[in-house]
Amino acid sequence: MISTIFRKCNGYSSIILDDSLLKIGAFRLFILLLLLQIMADSELLQVVTGNSKFANKFYNILAEEEKGKNVFFSPISAHIVLSMAYQGAAGTTADAFSSSLHLGNENIAATGYHHVMSSLNSIKDVKLHIANKIYVMQGFPLKEKFLKSACELFLSETESLNFAESENSARKINGWVEGKTNSKIKDLIDAGCLDALTRLVLVNAIYFKGNWAQQFKKEHTMKEKFYISEVESVDCHMMHLTRRFRYRADDHLQAQILEMKYTNENISMVIILPFKRTGIEELEKKLVDVDFATLSEGMRSMEVEVSLPKFKVETTMDLQSILTRMGLGVIFDQMKANFSEISNSDEQLYVSKAIQKAFIEVNEEGAEAAAATGVIMAFKCARPMNLPKVSFIVDHPFFVLLQSECDPAPISLFCGRIMEPFL
């Protein structure tokens, strides 16, 4: 808080004295504002760092559970909606959120994400929208602090529904999600997940559509082989482009890394391609210890001959198993979950369902991606250099990360593993 004090003064000497005090006051105000900025930067850094660690662990568990399949999700969508739920947690449940989300406390989560969402929602030259919404059972009283945090810091909308009318409630929730994701995410919430015991549904939706800074020409796209094993292949539509990109070969990961910018150069797609056709599992084991925010470090601008398949992936995930393995099993436990900071009601809340749907399509023009995560709560019953041209031929399984610069480090918007391109 900044307090401003006005004093009435008389006489010439008094005016001189107050002018001196004014200078001192201005200096103190400057220091105070500087400290507030440092605090804000610290909270933003913790959220960005927490998002990166969360994304890494989430991806590795998901990749293990979905062996041999395409996987794709939005780390930020899951991280935001869980951070919103964190605002209403207490006791050991709050501790579980803190350690699993890699965030110091709920205030850091709220303030940090306020800066992140405000920043990302104002990005130009691409379409990037992140939105939160809380659906609450009619007549269910929310605590003022929880509601204020959700609305003012997480920029969440709120709406009352009668969840006993499950079909109507699901239709309204899904309609909002569909609208926020340009109709890419449909039917997030099944009506069967809602009933008279449902008290809250927390939803985050994220949508991205951007053109490549350097687009592929459609006439250069042709059918080629994509190897799903050492010798077995499927046909794909392979795009071709030779331009300067940020690139490096990583001996530790045994992979090539390419960064492709969008028209807003703060947004980029990072592709990690194993040296070997069958190297994706080995790559994933090494990625366990890698901070996703550092993947594009140490890259150099050089001429790269890129061959990249067009692809489209849609996924639906029940998050309970993954979140439990990440240390958040308590939120699903009817006996142990503590969300006492959400409502003044005596009803004890727990998370009955956590779902995410995600979508990505990559073509010659650029990429379109969307995701939505729902948490349902019920009560208990570098500079260019003259370097030789390199080839980056994506004809076997690879890892992909869509990220945005969010000073002081990139934040993970979407990521996944493409085992087989479908389009």
Cβ neighbour number for residue 272 with a 10 Å cutoff: 22
Instruction: Report the percent of the chain where pLDDT is more than 90.
Output: 73
CA separation, residue 169 to residues 7, 97, 191, 335, 378 (Å): 57, 28, 8, 27, 15
Q: What is the pLDDT of residue 294?
A: 87
Instruction: Report the percent of the chain where pLDDT is more than 70.
Output: 87
Q: Which helix (H) or strand (E) holds 180?
A: helix 166-180
Q: What is the pLDDT of residue 183?
A: 93
Q: What is the pLDDT of residue 386?
A: 55
Q: What is the pLDDT of residue 297?
A: 86
For residue 12, is pLDDT > 60? no
Parallel, antiparallel, or unpaired: how do β-strands 311-318 and 255-261 relate? unpaired
For residue 79, is pLDDT > 90? yes
Q: What is the pLDDT of residue 392?
A: 97
SS (H, E, C) 345-400: CCCCEEEEEEEEEEEEEECCCEEEEEEEEEEEEEECCCCCCCCCCEEEECCCCEEE
For residue 190, is pLDDT > 50? yes
CATH architecture of 218-310+385-418: Roll (2.30)
Q: What is the pLDDT of residue 168?
A: 95
For residue 36, is pLDDT > 60? no
Picking from 120, 126, 133, 139, the residue whose alpha carbon sits closest to that of residue 178 is 133
Q: What is the pLDDT of residue 42?
A: 73
- Identify the DSSP state of 262: B
pLDDT tens-place string over residues 254-285: 999 999 999 999 999 999 999 999 999 999 99
Ranges of CATH 3.30.497.10 domains, the chain: 44-210+312-362
CA–CA separation, 289 and 281 (whole Å): 14
CA–CA separation, 188 and 198 (whole Å): 16
- Alpha-carbon dihedral of residues 333, 335, 338, 344, nearest 10 degrees? 120
215-219, 316-320, 343-347: the lowest-pLDDT one: 343-347
Mean pLDDT of the residues in the chain: 87
Picking from 175, 173, 121, the residue whose alpha carbon sits closest to that of residue 375 is 173
Single-letter residue type at 55: A
Q: What is the pLDDT of residue 5?
A: 31
Q: Which residues pair with 244 in a beta bridge?
A: 303
Look up residue 384 and give its two tokens.
Answer: 């260019």
Q: What is the pLDDT of residue 272?
A: 97
CA–CA separation, 412 and 208 (whole Å): 13
For residue 54, is pLDDT > 80? yes
Q: What is the pLDDT of residue 21?
A: 47
179 pLDDT band, cuts 50/70/90, is very high
- Which pTM was predicted? 0.86
SS3 category, 73: strand
Picking from 136, 161, 197, the residue whose alpha carbon sits closest to that of residue 380 is 197
For residue 15, is pLDDT > 60? no
Q: What is the pLDDT of residue 218?
A: 94
The average pLDDT across 194-218 equals 93
For residue 211, is pLDDT > 80? yes
Q: What is the pLDDT of residue 355?
A: 94
Q: What is the pLDDT of residue 421?
A: 83
Q: What is the pLDDT of residue 345?
A: 87
Q: Cite the beta strand spans of 212-341 per DSSP E.
A: 222-227, 233-250, 255-261, 267-274, 300-309, 311-318
Q: Report which of residues 313 and 386 the model is more confident about.
A: 313
CATH architecture of 44-210+312-362: 2-Layer Sandwich (3.30)
Q: What is the pLDDT of residue 7?
A: 30
Q: Report which of residues 19 and 152 the model is more confident about.
A: 152
For residue 192, is pLDDT > 70? yes
pLDDT tens-place string over residues 371-415: 999 988 887 654 445 556 899 999 999 999 999 987 777 899 999
Ranges of CATH 2.30.39.10 domains, the chain: 218-310+385-418
Q: What is the pLDDT of residue 35?
A: 41
The average pLDDT across 157-163 equals 93
